[in-house]
Chains A and B, each alone.
Chain A
Amino acid sequence: MKTWLRRNLFRTWWDALLTIVFSGVALWAMWSVFRFVVFTGRWEIIDVNLRLLLVGRFPKESLWVLYGVVIATCFWGAAALGGGKVAGAREASRSEQLFAAVRRFGLLVVVGLLLVVLAGVRESMWFVVAVVGAIVLGLQVKKWRRSIAKLRQIPAVIWHVALAITPITMMVLVIRSADVQLWGGFLINFYIAVLSILLCFPLGVLLALGRRSSLPMVRLVCATYIEVVRGAPLFVLLLLSGVALDFFLPPQIDPGPVFRSVTVFTMFTAAYLAEIIRGGLQSIPKGQTEAARALGLPTVKIIFLVTLPQALRNVIPAQIGQFISLFKDTTLAGAALSILEMLKISEAITKQDAFLGRGYIYEVLAFAGLLFWVGSYVMSKESQRVEKKLGVGQR
């Protein structure tokens, strides 16, 4: 311990000085945040408006389905993706596993507790407990699947369908229980982000392949699309979508603002994604294609079995970065298309009679920022784990 301190923190007087200065900065920052959270922050505004901030005008009587979706999805995620050995790693001991879990989830648990305290709603406790329970149960189910012989015989397809059926039915229930135009708050940010990510990924792949096509017309169209969309500010595209989308749609269809924003986010992110994926494709050595060709594989199979899987794997960090920025950019949809998303609601509630003109905006923005940070952090951490699992950089 003592030698560690000396070696890493106080090796020379200059190192010692830096260590002290930076510790000071860190302590000061932590103290400021702590003071704000515990003493100066006036969190009653969050307390009163929590439901509005999280789900907007989503009907109260359907809220239970929403809770159900979150819990069921946590279970699903844990059982389908969770755990799993990192490629080439040995089986970890119990204490190592615990340590890894703390490192992975510790910060999140702290933040979760913080949220509960901030929200001050006692009822939210049971929800947090249910989510944690679902994750633990999911991980256990995953373990059972690997250790119990009877469960291991179940084919992967049946297994995954069985796991996915509850969360997906519940998602359908949620979508049917209230008109999307009524959704708001963090829910709508999340919904727009997830939908756009799911849609932009295949589009981005196709654009990347198109830009590398041997057919000049395909290449031209894809390159033009990418350069035009990348050249426009996202906010401008969002504002434009209020009008411009109608040029391409038959007049009897009037898409709501959510549809418009999903379209824009999908198109915008796909253009960036296409360039990321193209970079990945270019990093694959020519020998890979030649070897596949020499086996007699047709071009489509060469792309989808040989080059694309390697390319996508190589650019996971950049892809996730793009998704994270999409997630945070959904706050622009409020200003551009009057969707009642988190930020829009955050501003609106400071104008309620009880809070008007007393500078409550800082508390509200801090809360909004925290929620987005949690989402981005989870994405980034999980992507790192996927990377390790796929053995990127092992070559």
Chain B
Amino acid sequence: MSESVNADATQMSGGRTDSDAIVVLEGVHKKFKDFSALKGVDFKVGKREVVVIIGPSGSGKSTLIRCVNRLEEHDKGRIIVDGIELTLDIRNIEEVRKETGMVFQSFNLFPHLTVLSNVAIGPRQVRKMSKAKSEELAHELLTRVKIPEQAEKFPAQLSGGQQQRVAIARALAMKPKVMLFDEPTSALDPEMINEVLDVIKELAKDGMTMIVVTHEMGFAREVADRVVFMSDGEIVEVGTPSELFDHPKDPRTQKFLSQIL
């Protein structure tokens, strides 16, 4: 399974590379009515890089990653994903959405479909895979997120942690080049957080490109190649986990970290 999700994961040796960027944001602005959520964000994510975004609530973290797959429309600037620029053209948007998987805070599984159908619906309906093949893929992915035995159940019959793992499998089924995680553990009971984080860590190990918005600092320190600190719609500071957590330069970063650690 892993080789089909990211064929060249095994070629990766030693440190990860950010030479060729897969997500590029240039001067991105976003306004909700008269509230500026993003005020000119410049940012690049390289192939196989894991970027964790942290920051106080209302700082624009979620808005930023929701712009990457056009769940929010940015007002100014450019967003380029895997060489495709997001414009008003719906074909470009759908192309980008095929290449980006997203995992939401509130799971958003389809309650009227079985777990298996939830995972298979993407490849079946968007990639035009046959029913048998899509279900085979779904079974593989459910095994990968360690819940193969729940395939025939409905989402409501699963625990929060299990639901979120199904949601990850659903996103992976599209074989995305980038995974976006929007606070994937914030709606979970404490005892279920680790089972979800473990799955995400494994993805990182396999070389998946990921942008993760999270409040789990331990997790950020462990998996991130780079940590981004955002505040008031701007990127304040970017660095490796040790740079940012142990030697934060900007006073806003220092204040935020002192409040949560």
What are the residues of chain B within 8 A of A295 when measuring CB–CB?
97, 121-122, 126, 170-171, 174
Binds B, one of A96-104, A222-230, A264-272, A286-294: A286-294
CB B258 to nearest CB in A, in angstroms, measures: 34
CB A292 to nearest CB in B, in angstroms, measures: 8
The reply to whether the CB of B106 lies closer than 8 angstroms to some CB of chain A is yes
The reply to whether the CB of B7 lies closer than 8 angstroms to some CB of chain A is no
CB B158 to nearest CB in A, in angstroms, measures: 12
Bound CA–CA A291/B21 (angstroms) = 25
What 7 additional pairs, Cβ within 8 angstroms, besides A288-B108, A293-B71, A298-B94?
A88-B157, A291-B109, A291-B167, A294-B69, A295-B122, A295-B170, A297-B122
Inter-subunit contact A296/B97 (CB<8 Å): yes
Inter-subunit contact A287/B71 (CB<8 Å): no
* CB nearest neighbor in B for A391: B154
Bound CA–CA A288/B71 (angstroms) = 12
Inter-subunit contact B98/A290 (CB<8 Å): no
Bound CA–CA A298/B121 (angstroms) = 12
* CB nearest neighbor in A for B155: A395
The reply to whether the CB of A313 lies closer than 8 angstroms to some CB of chain B is yes
Q: Which residues of A pack against B, CB within 8 Å?
A: 88, 285, 287-288, 290-298, 301, 305-306, 309-310, 313, 391, 394-395
Given contacts A294-B71, A295-B121, A310-B111, contact A394 B156 (CB under 8 A): yes
What are the residues of chain B within 8 A of A301 when measuring CB–CB?
125
Counting chain B CB atoms within 10 Å of each CB, which of A88, A285, A296, A305 scores highest? Answer: A296
Given contacts A287-B104, A294-B101, A295-B126, contact A395 B111 (CB under 8 A): yes
The reply to whether the CB of B43 lies closer than 8 angstroms to some CB of chain A is no
Bound CA–CA A291/B173 (angstroms) = 13
What are the residues of chain B within 8 A of A313 when measuring CB–CB?
112
* CB nearest neighbor in B for A286: B108
Given contacts A290-B71, A394-B156, contact A296 B122 (CB under 8 A): yes
Chosen A-B contacts, 12 in total, with CB atoms closer than 8 Å, are A285-B108, A291-B108, A291-B167, A294-B69, A294-B101, A294-B102, A295-B122, A295-B170, A305-B121, A310-B110, A394-B154, A394-B156
The reply to whether the CB of B100 lies closer than 8 angstroms to some CB of chain A is yes
Interface size class of B (residues with CB under 8 A): 20 to 34
CB B181 to nearest CB in A, in angstroms, measures: 12
Inter-subunit contact A288/B154 (CB<8 Å): no
Counting chain A CB atoms within 10 Å of each CB, which of B69, B94, B106, B110 scores highest? Answer: B110
Q: Which residues of B pack against A, CB within 8 Å?
A: 69, 71, 94, 97-98, 100-102, 104, 106, 108-112, 121-122, 125-126, 154, 156-157, 167, 170-171, 174
What are the residues of chain B within 8 A of A310 when measuring CB–CB?
110-112
Given contacts A291-B110, A313-B112, A395-B156, contact A297 B102 (CB under 8 A): no
CB A1 to nearest CB in B, in angstroms, measures: 37
Counting chain B CB atoms within 10 Å of each CB, which of A287, A293, A294, A305 scores highest? Answer: A294
| Set B101, B126, B157, B167: member contacting A297, Cβ < 8 A | B126
What are the residues of chain A within 8 A of B110 when measuring CB–CB?
288, 291-292, 306, 310
What are the residues of chain B within 8 A of A296 when measuring CB–CB?
94, 97-98, 122, 126, 174
CB A386 to nearest CB in B, in angstroms, measures: 14
Bound CA–CA A305/B122 (angstroms) = 11
Bound CA–CA A301/B121 (angstroms) = 11
Bound CA–CA A292/B108 (angstroms) = 9
CB B162 to nearest CB in A, in angstroms, measures: 15
CB B159 to nearest CB in A, in angstroms, measures: 14
CB B141 to nearest CB in A, in angstroms, measures: 14
Bound CA–CA A294/B67 (angstroms) = 11
Bound CA–CA A296/B178 (angstroms) = 14
CB B122 to nearest CB in A, in angstroms, measures: 4
Inter-subunit contact B171/A294 (CB<8 Å): yes
What are the residues of chain A within 8 A of B108 when measuring CB–CB?
285, 287-288, 290-291
Counting chain A CB atoms within 10 Å of each CB, which of B94, B110, B112 scores highest? Answer: B112
What are the residues of chain B within 8 A of A294 when measuring CB–CB?
69, 71, 97, 100-102, 104, 171
Bound CA–CA A387/B207 (angstroms) = 45
What are the residues of chain A within 8 A of B170 when measuring CB–CB?
291, 295
Counting chain B CB atoms within 10 Å of each CB, which of A295, A298, A395 scores highest? Answer: A295
Inter-subunit contact B112/A293 (CB<8 Å): no
Given contacts A295-B97, A297-B125, contact A290 B156 (CB under 8 A): no
What are the residues of chain A within 8 A of B154 when measuring CB–CB?
391, 394
